[in-house]
Amino acid sequence: MTLHFEVEITNNPVLGASTLWQFCRAYFDKGNQVDGPELPLALIVLPIAFHRRTARAIYRMQAASGMLKALYDHPELPAGLQRRLESFADLSLASLSIAIAASLIKLDRAEPWPRYLPAVKKLPSELGASTDDVAEIYAAAQRLGWWFAGQDLATICSRLHVRL
């Protein structure tokens, strides 16, 4: 990962907001448009999608492959994820706030965790993938949405070796 790429990504909550929208939209669609992802799942997305090597590995996989296939093919994917999850917490929360304020995502105050529902069917053109790096980030977030839908939080955390 180049320093330029990492600095650009980690200081961009607007990119984070549109990436989280991609995740929420995919999760919502895969779940028969009933529920959105809970807060803990949303916190896992940016540390994965904003890590170039991980995003690229996920981007290159078939969407239908699933998380187990991704972890089988790339057992290094969870390496360092806990540390990244902790360091990305502020960016993830700021990105969620921006996504809600921009009406990209709606907050459903479900119990025990809030859920995030896509508020629009597609992103405004200004937030589209302007570079290959952004396209990979968006695709990784979409795949995570598809893969996380229908799985419980404990299973996802166990497979990714993270604690929330």
pLDDT score of 1:
45
pLDDT digit string, tens, across residues 107-129:
998 778 899 999 999 988 778 77
pLDDT digit string, tens, across residues 28-82:
999 777 789 999 999 999 999 999 999 999 988 877 778 888 999 989 999 999 9
Domain count, the chain: 1
Domain around 78: 3-160
Confirm if 158 and 71 have CB atoms less than 8 A apart: no
The CA distance from 96 to 16, in Å, is 8
Residue whose C-alpha is closest to residue 50's, from 28, 93, 20: 20
Q: Is the pLDDT of residue 9 over 60?
A: no
pLDDT digit string, tens, across residues 78-96:
999 999 999 999 999 999 9
